[in-house]
Structure 1
Amino acid sequence: MRRWDAIEAFVAVVREGSFSAAAERLGVSASHISRRVAELETHLGTPLIYRTTRSIRLSEAGEQYFEECHRLLEGFISAEEQISRQQEEPSGRLKLTCAATFGERFIAPLLPAFMRRYPRLEIDLHLSNRRVDLIREGFDLAIRLGTLEDSSLLARRLCDRREYLVASPDYLERHGAPHTLSELAHHNCLLGTSSTWLFQDRGQRRELRVSGNWHSNSGPAVLAAARAGLGIAQLPDYYVTPLMESGELLPLLENNRYRHSGVWLVYPKVRQQLPRLKLLCDYLIDRFEDGIPWHSGA
């Protein structure tokens, strides 16, 4: 049995989520992938993947085996990259993910110039508000907003990011403005992907659970509700800065605004030696150093 071929097939099935998608990714047939995984399971003497008509699920042994196999595979890829690094024009695939609105407005427009500079590179950009598992799903880079949570990943700061609590003058005229965090319990809070908002309270980080009658996984939808006077929203600067400057939205509880947020380039440790990843990170950081689009001295 060609063990390495089988391991590559197994890792691809887990990352792509199906045998057919893994086959497409590796340029082989689905039956080839199925045979390789079956051979691997026979060799190990235990099931690795439970198959159903619609999905796959890893066994306990499969979970453990995947954690080791993906490291071996990434190490192999990294070794190949280092052998040929910078001796020829960089090539290969870069798979990255970013929150939808931020990616559409500020990341995607920067990538064509990068591709023109390095035409042998392939970019696979996923715009989604879902928080992906970089290692399991085979991503090279995530652009994450807010505060960092996963210490197993490496990160470089792309730029600052400020979260503002805002409401329309119409809403505040009808309901008054909150003067303390506790008063938010008496207001209609417009919820995005989380019902927990982050603040600074007496110099300490504080997470506060809020509630309201509007909930959407779309930042623009939450913004539209705030502009219409439905309630109070917590939104990042790139949504609200122009509207605060025009007076259409008013900032609230400024003394409690959390000031240690940012936009981060996050990647697995096994990817850090990839020359193409470093090129992209350096390029994005350089572009943002030219000026953050939504900041205007606020």
Structure 2
Amino acid sequence: MDRWIGIDEFVAVAVCGSFTGAADQLDTSVAQVSRRVKALESTLGYQLLNRTTRKLSLTTEGNVFLSHAKHLQHVLDDATSALRQRDSQPAGKIKMTAPVMYGEQYIMPLVNQFMSKYPNIQIDMELNNNQLDLIEQGFDFAIRLGNLKDSSMRARLLTHRQTLVCGAPEYIDNNKPIKSIADLDNHACLVGQSSVWRFVEKGKERQISVKGRLRCNSGWALVDAAKQGLGLAQLPHYYLIEEIEKGELVEVLNAFRPEAEGVWAVYPPRRYLPTSVRELLEFLAEGLLSN
């Protein structure tokens, strides 16, 4: 097992960019991290890190070895997980990430319920609208919305989201009728991150460029603007459903709704998922379907 000594420390140093950061991550001392990395270099017969007083960087050999070292970590995790599959009670730490709004509103309440059910579970959640590197940053899985890009990651469909176009009753009553997609040219559209809205017409997807007085990358801000009669907003249903039920917003162009998109759990391609992760994914799938 001497061949394993220093691998965790080397990967942590490479990811954190410093021995101090690696020591904090591994909950050990800087001296211990340094000793183990030197032992690994001695075993391999190659220098993996360039060390100066101002800068730490990977050597050419270090860059080559890093991806393989991460793979070795996953293999060891999988071997350990294979043994723990027999455990009836999920335990351990799960590191995950999700988009901010969806994570706050839908994922974290279920995660909190899961933690109440399994007291030996620890959760490290990062709410972030950027698509983080799961392997580089050590995430067990990520919640991703919409159509997935091609990648080596594995994915599990948890539920769907539907995109709607809505406006305030007063706005709809006081402006030209909205019976077709072409009618959007006569209306103020509240623009989010993209000025392209998606629809389905006669069985084919159509993408329409829209314009209006307001552009904002916050869904909640667009909902408020729509409620105040500033125009129409196209957003996922979970932003709008409560306002629709209250009568504060009305859906239009429902005959042209785009195809529902997936809500996914995406995770690195490992042979075995830890029991804790498998159970949490099942819990999320059941909880999201009931919402």
TM-score w.r.t. length of structure 2: 0.80
2:242 is matched with which residue?
A: 242
| Residue-by-residue CA offset, 1:198-226 (whole Å, 9 max, x unaligned) | 33244233444544443333321221122
Matches within 5 A, 1:1-298: 4-16=4-16, 19-30=19-30, 32-33=32-33, 40=41, 43-44=45-46, 65-87=65-87, 89-173=89-173, 175-176=175-176, 178-181=178-181, 184=184, 187-270=187-270, 272-289=272-289, 291-292=290-291
Gaps in structure 2 of 5+ consecutive residues: none
Give how far 1:233 is off: 1.7
Paired AA for residue 117 in structure 1? K
Q: Choose 1 or 2 for highest CA Rg.
A: 2
Distance 1:172 1:119, change over 3 A: same
Paired AA for residue 147 in structure 2? T
Paired AA for residue 221 in structure 1? A
Matches of 2:156 and 2:227, distance apart in 1: 34
CA RMSD of aligned residues (A): 3.5
Give how far 1:281 is off: 0.9
Matches of 2:65 and 2:180, distance apart in 1: 51
Aligned 8 A contact 2:226 2:233 in 1:
yes
Give how far 1:76 is off: 0.8
Give how far 1:88 is off: 6.3
Give how far 1:260 is off: 2.9
Partner SS state of residue 214, structure 1 = coil
Gaps in structure 1 of 5+ consecutive residues: 293-298
Matches of 1:60 and 1:188, distance apart in 2: 55
Paired AA for residue 156 in structure 2? R
Matches of 1:58 and 1:186, distance apart in 2: 58
Paired AA for residue 133 in structure 1? D
Q: Matched residue pairs, number?
A: 288
Partner SS state of residue 68, structure 2 = helix
Distance 1:231 1:133, change over 3 A: farther
Greater shift, 126-135 or 204-213, is seen at: 204-213
Distance 1:86 1:40, change over 3 A: same
Paired AA for residue 260 in structure 1? A
1:295 is matched with which residue?
A: none
Matches of 2:52 and 2:213, distance apart in 1: 41
Instruction: Give aligned-pair identity as a percent.
Output: 36
Distance 1:139 1:204, change over 3 A: farther
Matches of 2:185 and 2:46, distance apart in 1: 56
Give how far 1:36 is off: 5.6
| Residue-by-residue CA offset, 1:241-290 (whole Å, 9 max, x unaligned) | 1222333222232233112312222222217532111111112223334x
Partner SS state of residue 230, structure 1 = coil
